[in-house]
Amino acid sequence: MNSEKKGELSELKASLRQFAGSRAPGSTEAKRELFKKVISYMTIGIDVSGLFTEMIMGSGATSDLVLKKMCYLYLCSYAASNSELALLTINFLQKDCQDEDPMIRGLALRSLCSLRVKNLVEYLLGPLKTAIRDSNPYVRTMAAMGILKLYYLAPASCNEGEFVPALKRLLMNDPDPQVVANAVCALQEIFDKEAESGSGPNVNGKDWLLSKEVIYTLLNRIRDFSEWAQCIILALAAEYVPQEPDEIFDIMNLLEDRLQHANSAVVLATTKVFLHLTMSMADVHQQVYERIKAPLLTLISTGSPELAYAVLSHLHLLVTRAPMLFAADYKHFYCRFSDPSYVKKLKLEMLTAVANEANTYDIVTELSEYAANVDVVIARESVRAVGQIALQSYDVNGIVDRLLQFLDMDTDYITAETLVLVKDLLRKYPEWAESCVAVIGGVSHTAVSEQPAKAALVWMLGEYGQDVPDAPYVLESIVENWAEEESETVRLEILTAVAKLFFKRALECHRLLGRVLKLGTEDGNQDVHDRALLYYRLLQQGADVAQKVINPEKRAVNEFAETQSSEAKDRIFDEFNTLSVVYRQPSFQFMAKEQPKAGASSEEDPATPTGVLQGGGDFAHQELLSGAEKEEVAAPPPTASNGAETYSAPNVLDIMSGPPANGNAASVSGDPFATSTGAPVADNAPSSSGGGAGGLDDLLGGFGGQSTSQPQPPPPAPALQLVPRPTLDAGTFQRKWGQLPVGQAVEDSFAPAALAKLTTPQALLRHMASNSIACMASGGNAPTFRFFFYAQNADASGFFLVELIVNTAKGTASTKVKAEQAHLVEPFVQMYRTALQSF
């Protein structure tokens, strides 16, 4: 703060003092002006806490509401940092809490509860207790929120004071909807907090909130609530588990008209209720999709761009679950000139997702127009979208032509994007090599400056050099600039490409190869050096041996690895209508970084790739994150000290299954492109992940003779393998259950976090299903739920039947297992318990 400001502040202080006790006519106006000045300083971040005494003296006794409110605002901002002086305010706040005017009572109570000073809690309890029973609803709304504020300040006093039962009473009986809504908010937060920490008298409070009685009370008067309160109640209803199918239809009929609401938050909240209620009824679920389509599209068209973005993010999630649903509506996702780039990017992804046989031609034509767009970012994304659609196997023929036409546009960034895509395409559809390579040969390498594009071009020259007459000479001139080539990825690419071309056109290339190997072995970069040396030694063993390692037969990549597991996607679906959908991450991934105290932690989580999370769009970035890194993020964040070890472990494993993104470990492979596009999944094992795993593996076993690279033996198979998706009809289950004796009975306990998730049994069912254990039936009332599961031995020899009884109040899980093959009970129970514990 400069001295000028300091001067102003002390002047303010003096003026405030002067008017403090004054009741002269006009003094209220003068005080208002002074207070305004203080608040305006506060707004721009100047610390005016030094005026605390003067502010209280100046307003304590005033009856002017405008002045009072400004004083309250000031108090709530600075009381916490002036806890000693805050005591001075208690007197008049308490007095105001008993004022005749309900508005003053409400204002005073709100301020009193917002002071956030721990040692003043005792003064709060009395007024709060009175306010809950106040005759005026305005005061009661403040009281409901006041209890929540008290809970954060002093949970113990809150729980002793019988405030929670009072809130429950308000929720069930208060005539004013906003009082009810605030009671719901307060209870939900208190219950969630205690369930999360696993302690407190209301650990299982949520069960009460989700009981039929409460949900029906709220839903029956849903129209009385403000649109915001409706959203909160609908979010609660989405977690409700109906006891009989009729309920589902009752609730949906009741809420049907909410889908016509102009507020997108209400529509999305209703959508969530519909989707979650019908999870187990496939055909009704499908009808729900049909029903919500038009309202959601309307929200995108008529809302502000920000809301269009929020709704589009949800549509994107729905489309990945039901791609056919929007296939006919693809024109709705065409970009508009006026759309901001974050909307355009999402729309491009929607177009990619809905593309199918019928509409691919139209979509690709439209995308090609965007490629000529002045907006470079969108032009690039459009080219990528075209490539992405080609990889989805629709109308590859037409798209390859289109991609090659992009090269004619003679625009460097378009050329760059196109080269990378053509490379990916060739890995999946080698049969297109001939037509692509003819065009690629014509691309002037001097016009390509971006690193991934250059790497792609070099790779194609090496891989298809036999068909490009100039290939050796083009490579030669690229080698000329070795010293200027900053990217080691490109230098590694050059090494491999020249070596591969040598096997095809030895006469033209052997001098070039010699030169490159020399440059490589003298290179400052360790990876480049190592690879050059490796090639050199391999070649010493004979060209045949070297070729088998450097340029093995490749199989087309059938499917590029998904960047996200289906489990993560299900989690995001569970968290419909939350930020998870926008970020495309389950909440635990972005909520984990929560710091309870401001500025406490400076240790950055080493595994987190980026501090900034954004929704949508950035698929280029996501693609570059390899499976290895993804898993890192998913794993519980390692502490700073052991971060290094935890980081390396999955990496090592990953080399076996698919090369990591940064290309360090797998850089010796013959197909280095496995490194840049995420791990490829090949159609069968031996050549999986290109030459990456095989090549490295082979080298580890000595450079020796045998050619075909064997994959790393799989980890020791568990004694028992289960059928991933067992099938068993209910009748057979019942019969078997009746016939078989109990093989084993076990007692487990659930962690509180898992219990919290159990509010929707679907989460557990999905989790078990992902462990090859399917559900036959489930039911029960809180706190006791009963599940019947079954699984089948992989050799189809027999079934395992499970009865699970969960008591959410006690956190216990009692299991009875019956097996058709008694000797397998033991290993099965082991698998089952592991699955259960990991929930």
Partner 1 sequence: MISQFFVLSPRGDTIISRDYRGDVPRGTAEIFFRQVKFWKGGQEDAPPVFNIDGVNYLHVKVNGLLFVATTRANVSPALILELLQRIARIIKDYCGILSEDSMRKNFVLVYELLDEIIDMGYAQSTSTESLKAYVFNEPIQLDVQKLPNLGAASIFMNPGKRVPGTAVTKSVVSNDPSGKKREEVFVDIIERVSVTFNASGYIQNSEIDGTIQMKSYLSGTPEIRLALNEDLAIGKEFGGTGDLGMVLLDDCNFHESVRLDSFDVDRTLVLAPPDGEFPVMNYRMTQEFKPPFRVFPHVEEAGPFKAEVVVRVRGEFPSNSVANNVVVRIPLPKGTQRVSCEQEPGAVGQSTDFKEATKLVEWTVKKFPGNSEHVLRVKLTLAQERNANLKKETGPINMTFTIPMYNASRLQVRYLQILKKSKAYNPYRWVRYVTHANSYVTRL
Footprint on residues 521-580 left by partner 1 (CB under 8 A): 575, 577-580
Q: What residues between 308 and 347 interact with partner 1 by CB under 8 A?
A: 309-311, 313, 331, 334, 336-342
Question: Which of 406, 787 has the CB closer to partner 1?
Answer: 406
Contact between 183 and 146 under an 8 Å Cβ cutoff? The reply is no
Here the contacts of 366-371 (C-beta below 8 Å, separation 24 or greater) are: 366/334, 368/402, 368/405, 368/406, 370/335, 371/406, 371/409, 371/414
Give yes or no for residue 805 binding partner 1 (CB under 8 A): no
Q: Which is nearer to partner 1, 37 or 285 (CB)?
A: 37
Residues 218 to 237 in contact with partner 1, rule: CB under 8 A: 226-229, 231-232, 235
Q: What's the residue count for the chain? A: 839
CA distances from 167 to 105, 172, 189, 222 (A): 19, 9, 12, 19
- Candidate ranges 403-411, 418-426, 709-717, 766-774; the one touching partner 1 (CB under 8 A): 403-411
Using CB under 8 A as the binding rule, whether residue 611 contacts partner 1 is answered as: yes
Q: Which is nearer to partner 1, 65 or 322 (CB)?
A: 65
Question: Using the rule CB under 8 A, which residue among 185, 763, 794, 824 binds partner 1?
Answer: 185
- 834, 839, 787: which is closest to 815 by C-alpha? 787
Task: Judge contact between 181 and 170, C-beta under 8 A.
Answer: no
Q: Is 190 within 8 Å of 163 (Cβ atoms)?
A: no
In angstroms, give the least distance from the CB of 586 to partner 1.
10
Question: Which lies closer to partner 1 via its Cβ, residue 178 or residue 687?
Answer: 178
Cβ of residue 341: shortest distance to partner 1, in angstroms? 4
Does residue number 61 form part of the binding site for partner 1 (CB under 8 A)?
no
Of 369 and 559, the one with the shorter C-beta distance to partner 1 is 369
Q: Is 77 in the site for partner 1 (CB under 8 A)?
A: yes
Q: How far is the CB of 614 from partner 1 (least distance, A)?
A: 5
The one among 59, 89, 178, 677 contacting partner 1 by CB under 8 A: 178
Rank residues 283 and 594 by Cβ distance to partner 1 and give the closer one: 594
- How many amino acids of this chain bind partner 1 (CB under 8 A)? 101
Provide, rounded to whole angstroms, the least separation between the CB of residue 418 and partner 1. Answer: 16
User: How far, rounded to the nearest angstrom, does the alpha carbon of residue 293 sit from its chain's CA centroid?
Assistant: 23
Work out whether 39 is an interface residue with partner 1 (CB under 8 A).
Answer: yes
Cα angle: 366, vertex 418, 406; to 5 degrees: 50
Q: How far is the CB of 582 from partner 1 (least distance, A)?
A: 5
Residue 318: CB minimum distance to partner 1, A? 14
Q: Taking contact as CB under 8 A, which single stretch among the options 353-361, 407-415, 490-498, 522-530 is the one that binds partner 1?
A: 407-415
Give whichever of 376 and 719 is closer to partner 1, judged by the CB atom.
376
Asked if 102 is part of the footprint of partner 1 (rule: CB under 8 A), the reply reads no
621: contact with partner 1 by CB under 8 A = no
The verdict on 48 binding partner 1 (CB under 8 A) reads no
Residue with tokens 């010493």: 540
Residue 484, both tokens = 């200027």
Q: How far apart are CA 495 and CA 517, in angstroms?
A: 7
Complete DSSP assignment for 303-341: S-HHHHHHHHHHHHHHHHH-GGGGGGGGGGGS--TT--H
Structure tokens at 292: 């919500």
Amino acid at 351: L
Residues in 239-258 at the binding interface with partner 1, rule: CB under 8 A: none
Q: Concatenated DSSP letters for 497-540? A: HHHHHHHHSHHHHHHHHHHHHHHHHT-SSHHHHHHHHHHHHHHH
Least distance between partner 1 and beta carbon 293 (Å): 9
Least distance to partner 1 from the beta carbon of 262, Å?
5
Does 455 participate in binding partner 1 (rule CB under 8 A)?
Answer: no
Minimum distance from residue 70 beta carbon to partner 1 (Å)? 6
Task: Find all residues with CB under 8 Å of 40, minimum gap 6, and list them.
Answer: none
Phi-psi region of 599 (alpha: psi -120 to 50; beta: other; left: phi over 0): left
Residue 811 lies near partner 1 (rule: CB under 8 A): no
Shortest spacing between CB 564 and partner 1, in angstroms: 17
Q: How far is CA 222 from CA 180, 234, 254, 257, 296, in A?
A: 11, 9, 9, 11, 21
Report the nearest approach of partner 1 to the CB of residue 617 (Å): 8
Least distance to partner 1, CB of residue 50, Å: 17
Is residue 105 within 8 Å of residue 96, measured between CB atoms?
yes
Structure tokens at 799: 């079934």
CB of 621 to partner 1, least distance (A): 11
Q: Counting Cβ atoms within 10 Å, is residue 708 exposed (0-12), middle (13-18) or buried (19+)?
A: exposed
What torsion, rounded to 10 degrees, do the Cα atoms 750, 754, 755, 760 define? Answer: -140
For partner 1, give the closer residue by CB, 304 or 727.
304
Element at 147 (helix H, strand E): helix 137-153
Rounded (5°) CA angle 485-488-490: 65
Nearer of residues 297 and 699 to partner 1, judged by Cβ: 297
Rank residues 345 and 548 by Cβ distance to partner 1 and give the closer one: 345
Residue 617 near partner 1 by CB under 8 A: yes
Among 149, 347, 427, 500, binds partner 1 (CB under 8 A): 149
Q: Can residue 410 be called a binding residue for partner 1 (CB under 8 A)?
A: yes
Among 437, 550, 582, 782, binds partner 1 (CB under 8 A): 582
* Residue 467, CA distances (Å) to 346, 435, 438, 458 in order: 39, 10, 8, 14
- Distance of closest approach, residue 580 Cβ to partner 1, in angstroms: 6
User: Which contiguous run of DSSP H or E holds residue 451?
Assistant: helix 451-463
